[in-house]
Structure 1
Amino acid sequence: MVHASRMATGQNPAAQAAETVAVVENPQGSSPILLICEHASRHLPDRYGTLGLTPEQLESHIAWDPGALGVAQELSRLLDAPLVHASVSRLVLDLNRDPSAPDSIWTLSERTSIPGNQNLDPTERAYRVREVYDAFHGTVDGFIEPRVKAGRTRCVVSMHSFTPVYRDVPRPWHIGLIHDADARFAKSVEAGLRKDPALVVGMNEPYSPADRVFHTLERHAERRGLAPLMIEIRNDLIRTQDGQASWAQRLAPLLREGAQAL
């Protein structure tokens, strides 16, 4: 495991311990797939306190994607694939958004107001972009570039989870596969999943690139000509280690076959 990209935790960086923003696991993995998990953590560095939120809110989906990291780590093991994941909550800055977008730092998530993100001055916003966004995506760029040049990486998979109910509307899908113009990888995995008639599979559900949730894959896969795939698993299915392992075991052979077919 390689820890990288640290941010200052207090107002005086020289006087504070550094905070890890990005973690690279299995960096020597042989798989042509790079796994990324941007919403892996609910951790808030000390400088942000609780952002005015309750413990229950900080455990909820607004702070992270529950279960996504566990699935990604098990996939990393099963596929022998490298994994880059965040270790800072998306409440500080959403790594899957362009940093110039207003919602890269949420002030309202679904129906929850985030007091500590209200009325940020430009200096604080710039600090978060530099210390969180630039640090994380710089780590991914630095890791992936030599692998692509060496022909070792052909596709990028971004792992996420979604809530069973959003704004009082139940979501029927067990899993969603999100893709843009390059649907090769997504279609391959879809074909494998649909062999199980009990699974409800959504293509570009519950989100699509039109919702501006494809930023990481645009930056790290599409512009390099790599096959992109964003996977969303309903989070009540992966709350436990058993659920995470089960979904990883289901997905691993489909991802392996899809990558080989590219």
Structure 2
Amino acid sequence: MTPSAKKTELYRLLGAPVKGGVLVIADHASNHVPEGIDLGIPAELMNQHIAIDIGVAEVAERMTGPGTAAWLAGISRLVCDLNRDIGMPGMFPAVSDGYAIPGNDIGDDGRAARVAEYFDPYHAALEDLLEEAAPALIVSLHSFTPGLATCDKPRPWEIGILYNEDDRAARIAIPLLQAEGLTVGDQEPYSGRILNASMNRHAERHGRAYLSIEIRQDQIADAAGQALWAERLGRLCVEVVARLG
């Protein structure tokens, strides 16, 4: 953790955000379940993709340095998926990749309480940071599984780039990644027109340039892969910022 790191239960801020720099945001960087919440699932599932984006926190930490800071969510996506809109299916998943999550059978009052406790303050603090720091580029960092348990079709992309209406940074990044010999998903394995809630809220709504990145988890499952991708994404961000002008 860098000397300027700030930590709460909701998030960790690594590095010093600077105007015109890069801010990496990882909404699914933690598998932490706050005290008082029992999801009712085996402990080993909390280390799997249903609870956390594997490898993302480590990549984001390695990207942190002069001009680049990282904002890492501090709670599991199973407690409250911070990359969703309020009321959107999957914000408090009852089932994830075939696994029942009985502790999310909490009714309207329970969902509203978690929104007030976790979702609202997380996004309010993030928006305050973005207004103060005014980064040139936001990087929304996620990872995806090589294949879901409920689907036997493997996913061939090492990395996917997602976007909704604002594809400025995506159009710069995709050919740069392809030039490195990577199989790059353009709106794969998901479409940013469907799953882009945090970037819609914090980037597109305000005209802030962003890259929404999904890395296949086997690429960043160990320290060597995490270091490789942190270096690669660091170079990519420098080039994207330069071309955005």
TM value normalised by structure 2: 0.92
**For 1:73, what is the secondary structure of its paired residue?**
helix
Q: What amino acid maps onto 1:174 in structure 2?
A: E
Question: Aligned match of 1:88 in 75, 86, 92?
Answer: 75
The unaligned stretches of length 5 or more in structure 1 are 5-19
The corresponding residue for 2:50 is 62
Q: Deviations over 1:165-209 (max 9, x none)?
A: 122210001000111222121121112111123x21111110112
Superposed displacement of residue 31, structure 1: 5.2
Note if contact 2:161-2:170 (Cα within 8 Å) is conserved in structure 1. Answer: yes
Note if contact 1:188-1:254 (Cα within 8 Å) is conserved in structure 2. Answer: no
How large is the RMSD of aligned CA atoms in angstroms?
Answer: 1.5
Note if contact 1:31-1:81 (Cα within 8 Å) is conserved in structure 2. Answer: no
Superposed displacement of residue 247, structure 1: 0.6
- Percentage of matched positions with identical amino acids: 38
The corresponding residue for 1:189 is 173
Superposed displacement of residue 214, structure 1: 0.3
The corresponding residue for 1:178 is 162
The corresponding residue for 2:227 is 245
Q: Deviations over 1:235-256 (max 9, x none)?
A: 0110111111101111211111
The corresponding residue for 1:13 is none
The corresponding residue for 1:147 is 133
The corresponding residue for 2:216 is 234
Superposed displacement of residue 123, structure 1: 2.1
Note if contact 2:80-2:115 (Cα within 8 Å) is conserved in structure 1. Answer: yes
> Using the alignment, how far apart are the partners of 1:2 and 1:97 within structure 2?
24
Note if contact 1:43-1:87 (Cα within 8 Å) is conserved in structure 2. Answer: yes
**For 2:68, what is the secondary structure of its paired residue?**
coil
The corresponding residue for 2:192 is 209
> Using the alignment, how far apart are the partners of 1:47 and 1:73 within structure 2?
29
Do the aligned partners of residues 33 and 220 (structure 1) sit closer, same or farther apart at CA in structure 2, a change above 3 Å counting? Answer: same
Q: What amino acid maps onto 1:201 in structure 2?
A: V
Note if contact 1:30-1:81 (Cα within 8 Å) is conserved in structure 2. Answer: no
Superposed displacement of residue 30, structure 1: 5.9
Alignment of 1:260 with 2:221, yes or no, is: no
Q: Deviations over 1:29-74 (max 9, x none)?
A: 465222100000011112113x111122111100010001111111
Note if contact 2:17-2:23 (Cα within 8 Å) is conserved in structure 1. Answer: no
Superposed displacement of residue 122, structure 1: 2.2
The corresponding residue for 1:26 is 15
The unaligned stretches of length 5 or more in structure 2 are none
The corresponding residue for 1:117 is 104
Note if contact 1:41-1:88 (Cα within 8 Å) is conserved in structure 2. Answer: yes
TM value normalised by structure 1: 0.86
Aligned residues between the structures: 238
Alignment of 1:3 with 2:7, yes or no, is: yes
Question: Aligned match of 1:161 in 134, 143, 146?
Answer: 143
Superposed displacement of residue 213, structure 1: 1.6
> Using the alignment, how far apart are the partners of 1:220 and 1:59 within structure 2?
28
Q: Deviations over 1:2-46 (max 9, x none)?
A: 124xxxxxxxxxxxxxxx112211134465222100000011112
> Using the alignment, how far apart are the partners of 1:87 and 1:28 within structure 2?
18
